[in-house]
Amino acid sequence: MAESKPIHVLQLYPRDMNIYGDFGNALVLQRRLQWRGYEPILHSYDPEDEFPEQVDIIIGGGGQDSGQDKIQQDLLRIGDKLHALAEDGTPMLMICGLYQLFGHSFRTREGREIKGVGLLDLRTEGTDTRLIGNVVAESKEFGEILGYENHSGQTYLGPEVQPLARVTKGEGNNARDSHEGARWKNIVGSYLHGSLLPKNPAIADFLIAQAVQNRYAETIQPQIDAAGSAQPIEELTRKARTTATRRPR
């Protein structure tokens, strides 16, 4: 039997930060790791839980302002651990509410300051306008990125991070500068739900590639060729992307 090669995927705060299909990101990582011959081990971490010893990929989703309040103290508590993992090159994907809290701060519409964990050089301000709808954004690294946004916080990037992509439809980080998301080390921050990874496998494979490189010093093939699959996987993925592009705003 082939030797099993575990890859540990940690989802942060699924109880409070997990909306508009964000759990789909965990499922896509699970399947794509399996198809590539790795053994995905999914962990979830909620406030006060024990932080797993082994972590190869960290993902986090969106939530209401009230959910962000609930997890903030705990997020600050595990901040040093997250900083150390990020410095070591652990790939991370943070969506919307957790993307905001990976920054320095989020000032809510009511003027309350929610301190972030400061991994990404960005700040967010609550506004009275909700940015809602399907988004298309162009990234040099990942090509065209598709997703769905729904947020009233607007995010402004500092000089330490790069935008993830340039929005061609929808708003992204804020209503002013047509940036979507942020990149720093192996962290991808984004406003896009939907979920993001089923429609954007290039981002899933980026996270997987970093993880297997870090743990096993292995590289992954660009295309998945799963034995026994009735329809080539990459073709199904392309169909999902095509459908997503046609979705009305």
Facing residues of 45 across strands?
12
**Does residue 179 interact with ligand GLN by CB under 6 A?**
no
Whole-Å CA distances, 205 to 67, 189, 221: 29, 15, 9
Comparison of 38 and 106: residue with beta carbon closer to ligand GLN? 106
Closest approach of Cβ 197 to ligand GLN, in Å? 16
137-167 b/e with 16+ CB inside 10 Å = b?
Answer: bebeebeebbbbbebbbbbebeeebebbbeb
What is the rounded CA–CA span in Å between residue 187 and residue 99?
10
State the catalytic residue, choosing from 8, 96, 151, 179: 96
Sort 207 into a burial class: Cβ within 10 Å, 0-12 / 13-18 / 19+. buried
| Site pattern 70..99 for ligand GLN (x: CB under 6 A) | --------------------------xx--
Per CB under 6 A, which region of 148-156, 204-212, 232-240, 241-249 contacts ligand GLN?
Answer: 148-156
Closest approach of Cβ 102 to ligand GLN, in Å? 12
Told to judge if 151 belongs to the known catalytic residues of this protein, a careful annotator would answer no
Whole-Å CA distances, 31 to 40, 154, 208, 219, 244: 8, 33, 11, 17, 20
**Does residue 64 interact with ligand GLN by CB under 6 A?**
yes
Per CB under 6 A, which region of 39-47, 59-67, 138-146, 167-175 contacts ligand GLN?
Answer: 59-67
Told to judge if 104 belongs to the known catalytic residues of this protein, a careful annotator would answer no
Whole-Å CA distances, 102 to 10, 78, 113: 16, 12, 14
Closest approach of Cβ 233 to ligand GLN, in Å? 29
Q: Number of residues interacting with ligand GLN: please give it, by CB under 6 A.
A: 11
Q: Is 82 helix (H, G, I), strand (E, B) or coil?
A: helix
Among 150, 162, 178, 213, binds ligand GLN (CB under 6 A): 150
Residues classed as catalytic: 96, 193
Which residues lie near ligand GLN (CB under 6 A)? 19, 62-65, 96-97, 150-153
